[in-house]
Amino acid sequence: MDNQTRATFDNLLSPDGPVRNTALNASLQATDQPVDWAYEVWDELLERLRHTDGHQRAIASTLLCNLAKSDPQNRMLTDFDTILAVTRDAKFVTARHTLQALWKVGAAGPKQRQLVVDRLAGRFKDCAAEKNCTLIRFDIIQGLRHLYDAVKDENIKAVALALIETEPDLKYRRKYAGVWRSA
């Protein structure tokens, strides 16, 4: 990791919102492609998933999802559930940011894809009693759509459509189905 990338990564911890957001945008842009420094920050990001600040938890989960494509050791296969746990964060915005990034893990390879689809299907089913269930479910369906668009795996579409059919409220079933209309 070069000095500039390290400085940007360190700025993710800045208490200054604009500095932190600039660092986050630069880090997300850098990790849109595979990077050779993923393991230099991997454990640090895993640790930040338990940070007292919800912004730090969201940043860590989002960056770890982006780094899945830079994971030749397949560490994500064992660390994924730690990231998934952030989808139950006390701060709902943190949970949502995590949910919205998880699909990127599935784009990293077939094992990761199966893991993401299975875990998101389970999360869709078990969120029924949660306060923001409909938003959680929408994010899951949207994430599955993003994953489908990225890898064109028909199994993903089948799982998503089957999950939608389990939604008891017709209004939300239609809303979720709308995500898949053009697929």
Tens of pLDDT, residue by residue over 44-64, are 999 999 999 999 999 999 999
CA 120, CA 29: separation in Å to the nearest integer? 25
Contacts of 22 (CB under 8 A, 6+ apart): 11
If you count them, how many residues does the chain have?
183
Tens of pLDDT, residue by residue over 124-168, are 999 999 999 999 999 999 999 999 999 999 999 999 999 999 999
- Of 151, 164, 63, 160, nearest to 112 by C-alpha is 151
Confidence band for 182, pLDDT divided at 50, 70 and 90 = confident
**70 class by beta-carbon count within 10 Å (0-12 exposed, 13-18 middle, 19+ buried):** middle
Give the residue extent of every domain in the chain.
1-91, 102-183
Query: For residues 183 and 73, which has the higher predicted lDDT (pLDDT)?
Result: 73
What's at 81, amino acid-wise?
A: D
Q: What pLDDT does residue 78 have? A: 97
pLDDT, averaged across the chain: 96
Q: What pLDDT does residue 14 have? A: 93
CA 37, CA 58: separation in Å to the nearest integer? 20
CA 148, CA 167: separation in Å to the nearest integer? 20
Backbone angles phi, psi at 182, to 5 degrees: -95, 10
Q: Is the pLDDT of residue 183 over 80?
A: no
Q: What pLDDT does residue 21 have? A: 95
Question: How far from each other are the two terminal CA atoms of the chain, in whole angstroms?
Answer: 39
Buried b (16+ CB within 10 A) or exposed e, 163-178: bbeebeeeebeebbee
The answer to whether 176 and 141 have CB atoms below 8 angstroms apart is: yes
Q: Give me the mean pLDDT over the 178-183 stretch.
A: 89
Q: Give me the mean pLDDT over the 160-183 stretch.
A: 95
Tens of pLDDT, residue by residue over 20-47, are 999 999 999 999 999 999 999 999 999 9
Tens of pLDDT, residue by residue over 96-108, are 999 999 999 999 9
169 φψ region: left (φ > 0), alpha (ψ -120 to 50), beta (else) = beta
Q: What percent of the chain has pLDDT above 70?
A: 100
Q: What pLDDT does residue 35 have? A: 97
Please give the structure tokens belonging to residue 106: 């599935």
The answer to whether 63 and 106 have CB atoms below 8 angstroms apart is: no
The answer to whether 137 and 166 have CB atoms below 8 angstroms apart is: no
CA 42, CA 26: separation in Å to the nearest integer? 17
